[in-house]
Structure 1
């Protein structure tokens, strides 16, 4: 072979080496993201989720890809969305914000790892059988709100005129929301406190529910923890203000949006933990060996600005217990 031809051949082969090496790199893992919420909630969900991913060594678009599926508060869409992620053969499914999303993912696959971030008890609906050793293909984090329902009832009783009925807004399509209703009913019965459950599973039903609330003149309202009620927080704030109804919410974002009081754990803490677990599962850890993480702190947030707008004078006992106050 002539020297010039050999050099040309060698140069051409060398030029293909980087391409061949690049082609041999393993494909980027793909995580599925299944949420009961809306894409409009990205600013509340994703920073903490990405923080957790980063702590595990992953950056979206650099060494992990994410396929997003949003139910936008329509829980009936979740099974089809979960099935779509299973067909996509994602490496792991992050079921974020709501037990319905986690249940849909669990029903869709017994092999693909699932990491949830929910507001309810993961044992009661059958997501896991044990918090410290979940077993199977699922684990996650909870901003477990049911244990603090009685605290919200106590706050509502301090705001409601004596002898009046307290209402609880529940989404019958969400198991933890229903459990909150049952828990509150039992606690209220022990105190001799009249209470009534108001059901709503769509924004239209929320609007109609408040018509009934206005007619019955409840003394206060407790809003259960639910993804739909989180999505509809601006609507709920407007409605509670329209009827001057003292209301206790589960999420601080609802009080920050103009709600009177919130008492509960921080959602972002659960989202960060879920992101971290997603990264660890992609690295090869088994979800069944990762303990479910529960909150260690609950925050009482009081919106004094809203109290003034509603013409309410909050009891000193409530203000004294507040962890944060919005002036």
Structure 2
């Protein structure tokens, strides 16, 4: 026998369903503030691409720190003035400018959710004490391929007993990578030597000086860590190293695609941005940031520069070539 729901009960059920739909599809305009560290990258493009297709009504504002820690220090005040519904933060420096360390937070309103991208080591950088149960109103995506994986692949491309690295003064990301390379040196059979560049003055001259310092140490290969200043000015260091026949490996894709590095075992910045966009959408539809995991991009790729391979006469093995993306 067909049972009819009482009119009052039916009305209440409909109102409940309407509430669920309203929570899932916010009707009001959502304001997202993007805090960039070195202008727009593929990560920002991917983040916006994903959310622009979400069906959410969005308004975007952008604040670019322009690689300047002084501008970074003004970020909490900029956020307070803008009053966004969600903040996007690019890079370790950008994320620290927004929220600070977990034990030394900035003055940002803790009720504003934050989604970060391109942070190599969120725990090592101090953003969170642990990846889960950290209690902060943020989540995000790490972009670095595990260092052991990188070294395993790089050792198939070139034999190096001495690995050079360009460090960047006061860079949290570069410091953490240097520490990890030093820790893994014995197991992977190399000695690490480094030249440190200090941002300021003429960037190209500082990078060229670091390359000259490394050349004097006679490394078999050179590794470029993930750091905004280094990525933006990599070509000035890579050119003299390549001219000397030294293969340059990179933790990120841009130096391979645009600045003449030989090869990188990397995560696509655009894919990282899209993954972060998916996390932001979950938050905007009602999920708590602490319930949205901080995690790396689940896939990575090998990108190599075929023109540079010919210059230094170092080529990936055939098995790796089948998996790699070649650029010129």
Q: For 1:175, which of 145, 158, 172 is the aligned residue? A: 172
Instruction: Give the structure-1-normalised TM-score.
Output: 0.77
Compare 237-246 and 268-277 and name the one that shifted more: 237-246
Gaps of 5+ in 2: 1-26, 101-105
Give aligned pairs, total. Answer: 290
Q: 1:279 to 1:245 in 2, by over 3 A?
A: same
Q: 1:6: which partner in 2?
A: none
CA-CA distance at 1:251 after TM superposition: 2.0
Aligned-partner SS, 1:244: coil
Q: What is the aligned partner in structure 1 of residue 139 from structure 2?
A: 139
Shift of 1:185: 0.9
- Tell me by how many angstroms 1:246 deviates: 0.6
What is residue 92 of structure 1 aligned with on the other side?
Answer: 86
Counterpart CA distance in 1 for 2:53 and 2:144 is: 23
Which one has a larger percent helix, Structure 1 or Structure 2? 1
Q: TM-score normalized by structure 2?
A: 0.77
In 2, Cα distance between equivalents of 1:273 and 1:133: 21
| Alpha-carbon distance between aligned partners in 2 of 1:318 and 1:172, rounded to the nearest angstrom | 38
Confirm whether residue 73 of structure 1 aligns to residue 67 of structure 2: yes
Change (3 A) 1:192 1:72: same
- In structure 2, what is the equivalent of residue 102 of structure 1? 95
User: 1:251 aligns to what?
Assistant: 252
Query: What's 1:298 paired with?
Result: 300
Aligned equivalents of 2:213, 2:81: Cα separation in 1: 44
Question: How far apart are the structure 1 equivalents of 2:153 and 2:197?
Answer: 22
Q: Label 1:78 to 1:243 Cα distance change in 2 as closer, same or farther (>3 A).
A: farther
Written as runs of structure 1 = structure 2, the 5 A alignment for 1:139-218 is 139-145=139-145, 147=146, 149-154=147-152, 163=161, 165-202=162-199, 203=203, 204-218=205-219
Matched, 1:226 2:219: no
- Aligned with 1:65: secondary structure? strand
Over 3 Å counting, the alpha-carbon distance change for 1:45 and 1:296 in structure 2 is closer
Return 128-137 or 28-37, whichever deviates more.
128-137
